[in-house]
Amino acid sequence: MHTCIEECVFAPYLPGNKPEKYATLSKVFNMSNIAKIVMSIEPSQKQACVDSFCFEAETRIRDPVMGCVGVIRKLERQLQDLKLKLKIAKKELAALQEIHRRN
């Protein structure tokens, strides 16, 4: 399993005790291209950038076709389902409150 050496551009962003993150990233992406991107952005954005690439790599390994888009779509469906359930619950609550008010 690969890990970053101290001079590696990813060393500050990929913990040495989690070599699987580097391995996953290198399975999916060309590391020299990722390094160029990381080196070209503001220091305050570098960790988020590496984290985003790691997340994308992990999701592409689980779902090579959809990757992050599949996760986003699933979450959107869950959100819509929860909104519908909330709407139904609010109607039920209003009906119960009306019954209670009448009694």
pLDDT at 3 over 60: no
State mean pLDDT over 91-96: 96
15 vs 68 pLDDT, higher one: 68
pLDDT in tens, 50-62: 999 999 999 999 9
Q: What is the pTM of this model?
A: 0.74
C-alpha to C-alpha distances, 60 to 43, 56, 97, nearest whole angstrom: 26, 6, 48
On whether the CB atoms of residues 24 and 61 are closer than 8 A, the answer is yes
Average pLDDT of the chain is 91
Task: Find all residues with CB under 8 Å of 22, minimum gap 6, and list them.
Answer: 1, 2, 3, 4, 10, 14
pLDDT in tens, 19-57: 888 899 999 999 999 999 999 999 999 999 999 999 999
Q: What is the pLDDT of residue 66?
A: 94
